[in-house]
Amino acid sequence: MYRYDNYDQTLVNERVAQFRDQVNRRLAGELSDDEFKPLRLMNGLYLQLHAYMLRVAIPYGTLSSKQLRKLAHIGRRYDKGYGHFTTRQNIQYNWIKLEETADILAELAEVEMHAIQTSGNCIRNITADHFAGVAADEIEDPRIYSEIIRQWSTFHPEFSFLPRKFKVAVTGSPHDRAAVKVHDIGLRMIRNEAGEAGFEVLVGGGQGRTPVIAKSIRPFLPKRHLLSYLEAILRVYNQLGRRDNLYKARVKILVDAVGAAQFTQMVEEEWQHIRDGYLDLPAVEIERIRAYFAPPPYKRFDGAPAEYETQLRRDFLFARWVRTNVAAHKRPGYAIVTLSLKPTGGVPGDATDTQMDAVADLADRYSFGEIRVTHEQNLVLADVEQAVLFELWRKLEALNLAEPNVGLAGDIIACPGLDYCALANARSIPVAQQISKHFGDLTRLLDIGELKIKISGCINACGHHHVGHIGILGVDKHGQEFYQITLGGSADENASIGDIVGPAFGTEQVVGAVETIIDTYLNLRQGGERFLDAYRRVGLKPFKEKLYAAH
């Protein structure tokens, strides 16, 4: 993975000193709260329901074991012994003190980490495929370009006071695990007719109040033009995005208002002025960064080891875990392991300091010292030899990280919700816990099959409910928590926004509603079709009928 050079390290070190000075000026009264707020936001420090929340950047969701140990240490020393992994591959700490934040940032800088631009109206964390580098269908490792974009976007002097936040995601594979179509800019690696790798550029996707699938504005962009083209998009947005209404200020609103064709034209016009200039991306820099993402020293295997096959046959529980939590690796004899942060009845996406330290050790032992964070709030060890899967599984079980539910109804994505977030209208975590417990029977979970349930506590959609197969949105109705359900959303290359089924359900009824939905699916599914496929085949009607007949 990428390692800082002198320039990168100097930047974060100076940033820590700068923030420390800003805090001191705040405490001395030289800065009002209004003036300090954008500064602390640009360092990811929010004021939330209970305390300050610090959102630490995990660029494209990749961590070294050393970094994960530091995250564990920060949870232990400065917080209440845990952290929360988010839908943008970052980590959040909920109980941070302002007076300790500069120290935390200094500790992060020691391991090449920071909290820069994880909030504020600027370019946020660049997210990428959590199977980068190990997926068989990958064209190139998207993290190379994510790192390039990360640097270009860091303290960009022109784009630090945008109309609103700006989120970029990159996929290196045709199968999109990075949800690029619901980002402000999505980049999809493709090959042109000459076989050259480049990017399809998508703009204006997003969730929140007005969910929308991104529009493709450039079918093929050569790599050397990556930064100049992004600069053109951001410049058009910075100039023309709405400044009068916070809820209408994302780039998706602009693209919708002027139309994709005109937006494309404006970008292309601006781009003509700045292409082939100082933003041309030198091949030497691409290669320099590519070297950091070179494959690790894999052993040569012909295929799955015999003992592994035996273990699969002999141990039903192991086989079940492999079936759900282990994915095929592009190298024979290796596997991609997802560590479920969704124990039945647990808080989705939370990890204790003990778990984080243990995962760091497991990464060192079994996966070349690297861990990934997914936007579905799980962790990944991407390069595990099949020969050791059984012993790894036992260790993960002991750590409560082996719930065999990845991609199933128990693998719920939930924002922190009203329990933590000052923006929320309703709680999301207890709903996730109830659903998880209700569908705790793992045999049943497997029978239901792939089902992505995503829960947001408010319209800001940090739980990505719009792209859940079942989406749940918490709303406030007359001071009571209610939950609106959507169906048929998806975040992959066939992205779709979920359809609202009808009136919202009360707290006591949500689990029952989900049960009804699943029963309806089970009764009408054909062959082995997934929930999403069944929904796309039959539409909303059968579900709506059953739901509102029963309730």
Contact window for other proteins (CB under 8 A) among 32-40, 442-450, 492-500, 538-546: 32-40
User: In angstroms, rounded to a whole number, what is the distance separating the alpha carbons of residues 119 and 125?
Assistant: 9
- Kind of pairing, strands 127-128 and 168-171? parallel
Contact window for other proteins (CB under 8 A) among 94-102, 301-309, 335-343, 518-526: 94-102
Instruction: Report in angstroms how near the CB of residue 548 gets to other proteins at its nearest.
Output: 26
Instruction: Report in angstroms how near the CB of residue 335 gets to other proteins at its nearest.
Output: 33
437 binds other proteins (CB under 8 A): no
Contact window for other proteins (CB under 8 A) among 186-194, 419-427, 462-470, 489-497: 419-427
67 or 151, CB closer to other proteins? 151
Q: Please report, as a single letter, which amino acid is at residue 457.
A: G
Question: Buried (b) or exposed (e) across 242-253, using 16+ Cβ within 10 A?
Answer: eeeeeebbbbbb
User: In angstroms, rounded to a whole number, what is the distance separating the alpha carbons of residues 294 and 194?
Assistant: 24
Q: Please report, as a single letter, which amino acid is at residue 14.
A: E
Question: Buried (b) or exposed (e) across 509-542, using 16+ Cβ within 10 A?
Answer: bbbebbebbbebbeeebeeebbbbbbbeeeebeb
551 binds other proteins (CB under 8 A): no
285 binds other proteins (CB under 8 A): yes
The alpha-helical segments, DSSP class H, found in 28-97 are 33-41, 65-78
27 or 398, CB closer to other proteins? 27
288 binds other proteins (CB under 8 A): yes
49 binds other proteins (CB under 8 A): yes
* Contacting other proteins within 330-349 (CB under 8 A): 347
Contact window for other proteins (CB under 8 A) among 85-93, 132-140, 412-420, 537-545: 412-420
50 binds other proteins (CB under 8 A): yes
Residue choice 238, 355, 490, 520 for contact with other proteins (CB under 8 A): 238
157 binds other proteins (CB under 8 A): yes
Instruction: Report in angstroms how near the CB of residue 309 gets to other proteins at its nearest.
Output: 41
273 binds other proteins (CB under 8 A): yes
Contact window for other proteins (CB under 8 A) among 56-64, 107-115, 428-436, 509-517: 428-436
131 or 237, CB closer to other proteins? 237
475 binds other proteins (CB under 8 A): no
SS (H, E, C) 510-525: HHHHHHHHHHHHHHHC
DSSP per-residue letters across 335-365: EEEEEP---TTS-TTEEEHHHHHHHHHHHHH
Structural contact between residues 353 and 73, judged by C-beta atoms closer than 8 angstroms: yes
* Contacting other proteins within 109-128 (CB under 8 A): 121
Using CB under 8 A, count the residues that bind other proteins: 68
227 binds other proteins (CB under 8 A): yes
From the list 545, 484, 478, 527, the residue with the least C-alpha distance to 509 is 484
479 binds other proteins (CB under 8 A): yes
195 or 479, CB closer to other proteins? 479
User: In angstroms, rounded to a whole number, what is the distance separating the alpha carbons of residues 93 and 78?
Assistant: 9
46 or 366, CB closer to other proteins? 46
5 binds other proteins (CB under 8 A): yes
Residue 40 per-residue DSSP state: H
CA torsion angle for 313, 316, 321, 322 (degrees, to 10)? 10
397 or 419, CB closer to other proteins? 419
51 binds other proteins (CB under 8 A): yes
77 binds other proteins (CB under 8 A): no
Strand segments, DSSP code E, in 192-304 are 197-203, 215-222
Structural contact between residues 371 and 363, judged by C-beta atoms closer than 8 angstroms: yes
Structural contact between residues 397 and 404, judged by C-beta atoms closer than 8 angstroms: no
Residue choice 202, 337, 418, 532 for contact with other proteins (CB under 8 A): 418
Residue 410 per-residue DSSP state: T
Q: Strands across the sheet with 350-352, in order? A: 45-47, 52-56, 91-96, 82-85, 350-352
From the list 456, 503, 420, 409, the residue with the least C-alpha distance to 182 is 456
Question: Sign of the C-alpha dihedral, residues 135, 223, 293, 117?
Answer: negative
4 binds other proteins (CB under 8 A): no
Residue choice 77, 137, 209, 239 for contact with other proteins (CB under 8 A): 239
155 or 548, CB closer to other proteins? 155
Residue choice 33, 193, 302, 508 for contact with other proteins (CB under 8 A): 33
Element of type H or E holding 433:
helix 429-438
Structural contact between residues 290 and 141, judged by C-beta atoms closer than 8 angstroms: yes
Binding site for other proteins (CB under 8 A): 5, 7-8, 10-11, 14-15, 18, 22, 26-27, 29, 33, 35, 38-39, 47-52, 80, 95-99, 121, 151-163, 227, 235, 238-239, 243, 273, 276-280, 282, 284-285, 288, 347, 418-420, 424, 427, 429-430, 433, 479, 481
